[in-house]
Amino acid sequence: MHKVSAIKTVRSNNLMSRLKDQKWLFVLMLPAFIATLLFSYGPMFGLYMAFTNYQPGGESFFHQFFHAEFVGFRWFEYFFTTGDFYRVMRNTLATSLLTLLFGFPAPIILALVLNEARQGFFKRFVQTVSYLPHFISWVIAANIVITLLASDGMLNNILVLLGIVDDPIAFMQNGPLFWWIIALSNMWKEMGFSAIMYLAAISSINPELYEAARVDGASRFKQMWHITLPALRPTIVILAILAVGGILNAGFEQQYLLQNNTVLEYSEVIDIYAYKYGLQNSMFSYGAAVGMFKSVVAFILVVIVNRISRKVNDQALF
């Protein structure tokens, strides 16, 4: 009994000693911890709004919030039975799947190409040019896309000049084309920055593996296929899980800024739908229910894909 008490005392002293030695690290972590509590976990109490009939009034927010009529799953049932559900989910899944199809492999390919580049100036130039769009806000990026795809824009002028088309194509007024525009413009904007993670993973590969492969007569393509790609698999799996979990995140800013009245049937995704009804139409509880549905689906998808990945590749996020 005395031995157990002595062991616990030693462990407690060791823990306190480590905490004391690392106190400044905890001080540095404190602002991020507080910000996470306030802006990530704090707003979660608002999920209760999805189960009430909240309406702002003359009383304080908290009084109205906690005294709102409890309606259970009424708003969820309304969302599933309304004619908007199919259209919103169709648009969200179409744009998200196309974005995933083009946007996920693009940074991997770019990272592999940059890793194989031997000309230092060319490599730095391509990296800089591909990284810059990420730091441009969607307000500016959307205007660039709209200008390029306008009836008298650069792309239409090139197509007419080359004789590919006789008349300009109304890209921004064509509903089905809008999904492709979203996917390709997102790939252009994020491809370079996303490649950084893969380049970082490539830099951690032991150079001796490449040297041994060269001695055995392996070509650069075979080195990439048998050394680089297998080493990238853990990074690819983790990012794939996160990408599938965000399948309903079709990009509010991008969609909102690029849409117009002629493509509303194809551009209204779940985020814009929740914004329109929740804020513009003051249906706060309904907007909260739509947002909660999206979050629950994302969580379920992450868990499912994570389990599949663990069984198939023995690689998982958690």
pLDDT of 10: 52
Residue 195 lies in a domain: yes
191 near 107, Cβ under 8 Å?
A: yes
In a domain, 11, yes or no: yes
301 with 200, same domain: the answer is yes
**b or e along 54-89 (b: 16 or more beta carbons within 10 Å of the residue's beta carbon)?**
beeeeeeeeeebeebeebeebbbebbeeeebbebbe
In a domain, 52, yes or no: no
Residue 144, CB-side half-sphere exposure with 13 Å CA sphere: 13
CATH code at position 243: 1.10.3720.10
Domain match, 164 and 30 both: no
Q: Is residue 76 part of a domain?
A: no
Q: Is the dihedral of CA 185, 189, 191, 192 positive or negative?
A: positive
Structure-block tokens of residue 280: 């513009």
Is the Cβ–Cβ distance between 211 and 129 less than 8 Å?
no
Domain membership of residue 69 (yes or no) is no
Cα end-to-end span (Å), the chain: 38
15 and 99 assigned to the same domain: no
Minimal CA–CA distance to 270: which of 247, 289, 294?
Answer: 294
Q: What range does the domain containing 27 cover?
A: 2-42
**Same domain flag for 96 and 14:** no
Which phi and psi (to 5°) does residue 53 adopt? -110, 70
Cβ neighbours for 149, distance < 8 A, ≥ 6 positions apart: 155, 156, 171, 172, 181
Q: How many domains does the chain have?
A: 2
Instruction: Indicate whether 38 and 144 sit together in one domain.
Output: no
Asked if 132 and 279 sit in the same domain, the reply is yes
Decide if 49 is inside a domain: no
- The answer to whether position 13 is within a domain reads yes
Q: Are 150 and 156 in contact (CB under 8 A)?
A: yes
pLDDT computed for residue 11 by the predictor: 56
54: nearest Cα among 238, 278, 311: 278
Angle at 247 between CA 261 and CA 44, to 5 degrees: 95
Looking at the structure, do residues 260 and 170 belong to the same domain, yes or no? yes
13, 136: one domain: no
Same domain for 147 and 31, yes or no, is: no
75 within some domain: no
Query: Are both 23 and 155 inside the same structural domain?
Result: no
The count of other CB atoms within 10 Å of the CB of residue 121 is 8
3-state SS of the chain? Answer: CHHHHHHHHHHHHHHHHHHHHCHHHHHHHHHHHHHHHHHHHHHHHHHHHHHEECCCCCCCHHHHHHCCEECCCHHHHHHHHCCHHHHHHHHHHHHHHHHHHHHCHHHHHHHHHHHHCCCHHHHHHHHHHHHHHHHCCHHHHHHHHHHHHCCCCHHHHHHHHCCCCCCCCCHHHCHHHHHHHHHHHHHHHHHHHHHHHHHHHHHCCCHHHHHHHHHCCCCHHHHHHHHHHHHHHHHHHHHHHHHHHCCCCCCHHHHHHHCCHHHHHHHCCHHHHHHHHHHHCCCHHHHHHHHHHHHHHHHHHHHHHHHHHHHHHCCCCC
Question: Dihedrals φ, ψ of 31, to 5°?
Answer: -60, -45
CA-based nearest residue to 195, from 117, 93, 283, 247: 117
Do 302 and 188 belong to one domain?
yes
Per-residue confidence of the chain (318 residues) as pLDDT tens digits? 555 454 455 555 677 777 778 888 888 999 999 999 998 888 888 888 899 998 887 677 777 777 888 899 999 999 999 889 999 999 999 999 999 999 999 999 999 998 888 777 888 888 889 999 999 999 999 999 999 999 899 999 999 999 888 889 989 998 889 999 999 999 999 999 999 999 999 988 998 999 999 988 888 889 999 899 999 988 898 888 888 888 888 888 999 999 988 998 999 999 999 999 988 888 999 999 999 999 899 889 888 888 888 887 777 777
Q: Based on the domain organization, do 255 and 171 belong to the same domain?
A: yes
In this prediction the pTM is 0.83
Q: How far apart are CA 214 and CA 227, in angstroms?
A: 12
